[in-house]
Structure 1
Amino acid sequence: MENAKYLKTVVIDKLIENEATEVEDVTIDESRLNLYLNGEKTISMMCIPKDQDAHAVGFLMSENVITSIDDIEELKVSEDGLRVDVKASINEDSLQNLYKEKTLTSGCGGGVTGTADGNLEIPFNQTSFKIKPETISSEVKIFYRESELYNLTGCVHKAMIYLLDGTTVTAEDIGRHNAIDKAIGKCKLQGLDTTKSVLFVSGRLSSEMVTKAVMHRIPVIVSRTAPTYLGVQTAHKHGITMIGFARGRKMNLYTHQGRIDV
């Protein structure tokens, strides 16, 4: 099994109707990933030790520390998988803002961001990209059905980017923000265009989840669950189509509904 190395076994007492049975259970591995930028430690992130290169790229670009994949000169993951070294041309102001703000996000795993104040200087997203509601419904089913680590442990979040040609790029992690960064990082490393795409996420649509779509010009973001008020306001302000409670053939369209081709 491909994901077996990210699993750990624990012994538990399983209680059913006041009768306890000792059984083995499966949990997810959780490690501290240290990110070094131009030789200096930038941040540590608790995550699943998987797709670390994509995680680093997605995080740095989401924070505007790196503005283009072409800015990266070298990217190396250590043999133990717990350190990523990136050599790149950087936006020093964004890096200092990350150190200064260090806002603890509402995402699982306690993510940190420097772009959560709602004052992003990002152009309004005016793309003419559209997607049919039946495509969204179909992809939501696939999104949850094909989630091996979640099915095994019930302990991870998932992100998926659906591209214009039907290609999908997915990632899983203990934190929603990590999963999004990994999925976006994979796209950037493969040279894929996210400006005409849909971001599917597990969990609520809070402001920092929407902000990642804003930073990467992703026009549509979808979840089976609810948004926060600030999440809705962020999507409205920056031209992001927000869809919540996408279940079966039903969904709630919160902002910029014109991209849903009904």
Structure 2
Amino acid sequence: MTGGSARTTALAVGPAGPERVGRTLAEEVPVALSYDGTTQAVMLASPTELNDFALGFSLSEGIVDTPPQIERIERVDHAQGIEMRMWLAPGLGARLMERRRSMAGPVGCGLCGIDSLEAAARPLPRLPGDALRLAPGDIGRAMAALRGAQALHDATRAVHAAGFWTPAEGLVAAREDVGRHNALDKLIGALARIGRDAAGGVIVMTSRVSIELVQKAVLARAPVLAAVSAPTTRAVAAAEAAGLTLIARARGESFDIHTHPDRIALKEVPHDA
């Protein structure tokens, strides 16, 4: 369970009649995230780049603030799935208890198992005003760069991707997973491993935008989150309150800006009707 995909056969039915064909399918594996010997979450995920996933989840869920606060990460393969064991620096156990979750849900839901409504609507810090200014064409360039980094999607047509793009560097990193929030956690972990956050650029995603993606993007200090599909109303409200520029339906040269359009250098912004 390491490649993220597996070959199988299917009966393809078309105008010429049925035929047996080979197909490459995305793997979906239960991944248990445990801290100091206690399981915190069980997520269905792609079994790739799981160290990034473990680190990114820990950062985006507020379990740790910096990578060194996880003293060790160990992967243990079981017949039923994969366990990512993490050992925290002394003194972090109390914080973990405050953020207690027990999640065992489908990959489409990043909030499964939260034990209170307050936890689902956790307050977010306000992003600082910054000098980032993007040309409208930058959004299309960022999405195109992400599209070129989706090897697992090309093989399976069944996974999401998250990437980080800057005008000066292009695509800095990209990660894929069957779960959109898992892909973003992997990206956050990958950036943390090279000593970066998402400030100064754009997080780009291949999915719809729900509130947990906004929460994770803000905590990663991303000023802009862009996605190919639409956001939810709660995601827009959270982005507005946190100072995040939320862009949706980004396809080709077209996109919608739902919040904080000042980071995009538009020639003219029409007044509200």
TM-score, normalization by structure 2: 0.85
User: What is the alpha-carbon distance in structure 2 between the residues aligned to residue 116 and residue 164 of structure 1?
Assistant: 35
220, 225, 230: which one pairs with 2:234?
230
Unaligned runs of 5+ in 1: none
2:101 aligned to which of 84, 99, 102:
99
1:240 matched residue in structure 2: 244
Distance 1:217 1:116, change over 3 A: farther
Q: 1:218 to 1:103 in 2, by over 3 A?
A: farther
Aligned mates of 1:28, 1:190 — CA distance in 2: 28
| 1:168 aligned partner | 172
- In structure 1, the residue matched to 2:205 is 201
Alignment of 1:29-48 (within 5 A): 29-48=27-46
Cα offset, 1:44, TM superposition: 1.6
DSSP-derived class of the 1:5 partner: coil
How far residue 192 of structure 1 moved from its aligned partner, in angstroms, is 1.4
2:161 match: 158
User: 1:119 is paired with a residue of what secondary structure?
Assistant: coil
1:114-143 superposed Cα distances (whole Å, 9 cap, x missing partner)? 586333152344333222221221121121
Cα distance, 1:26 vs structure 2: 1.3
Corresponding residue to 1:8 among 6, 9, 13: 6
Please give the residue correspondences for 1:20-169 in structure 2 after superposition, counting only pairs within 5 Å: 20-78=18-76, 82-89=82-89, 90=92, 92-93=94-95, 95-99=97-101, 108-112=107-111, 114=114, 117-163=120-166, 165-166=168-169, 167-169=171-173
Aligned residues: 257
Alignment partners' CA distance in 2, 1:34 and 1:91: 18
Question: Per the alignment, do residues 247 and 121 of structure 1 end up closer, same or farther by CA in structure 2, a change over 3 Å counting?
Answer: closer
Determine the C-alpha separation between the residues in 2 that align with 1:123 and 1:94: 23
| Higher mean C-alpha deviation, range 26-35 or range 231-240 | 26-35
> How big is the shift at 1:237?
0.6
Aligned partners of 1:164, 1:194: CA distance in 2, in Å?
Answer: 13
In structure 2, give the amino acid aligned to 1:111: G
Say whether 1:259 aligns with 2:263.
Answer: yes
Q: Aligned runs of 1:171-182 on 2, under 5 Å?
A: 171-182=175-186
Tell me how far apart the structure 1 counterparts of residues 98 and 167 of structure 2 sit (CA, whole Å).
35
Indicate if the aligned counterparts of 1:67 and 1:91 stay in contact, CA closer than 8 A: no
Alignment partners' CA distance in 2, 1:37 and 1:165: 38
Q: CA, structure 1 residues 174+244, in 2 after alignment: closer, same or farther (shift >3 Å)?
A: same
Q: Using the aligned pairs only, state the percent identity.
A: 25
- After superposing the two structures, state which structure 1 stretch, 218-227 or 129-138, moved more: 129-138
Distance 1:247 1:200, change over 3 A: same
Q: Evaluate the alpha carbon distance shift between residue 98 and residue 130 of structure 1 in structure 2; reply closer, same or farther with a 3 A threshold.
A: farther
CA deviation vs aligned residue, 1:145-165 (integer Å, no higher than 9, x gap) = 331111111110000012464
Q: Give the CA deviation at 1:93.
A: 4.0
- Aligned-partner Cα distance in 2 for 1:153–1:71: 36
TM-score, normalised to structure 1's length?
0.88
Any idea what SS the aligned residue of 1:134 has?
A: helix
Distance 1:210 1:75 in 2: 27
Q: Distance in 2 between matches of 1:77 and 1:164?
A: 36
Aligned mates of 1:222, 1:260 — CA distance in 2: 12
Contact kept? 1:54, 1:185, Cα under 8 Å: yes
**In the alignment, is the contact (CA less than 8 A) between 2:2 and 2:48 conserved in 1?**
no
Shift of 1:31: 1.2
Counterpart residue type for residue 146 of structure 2: F
Q: CA deviation at 1:186?
A: 0.5
Deviations along 1:80-116, one digit per CA (max 9) or x if unpaired, are: 782212112336345433427x596xx8444346586
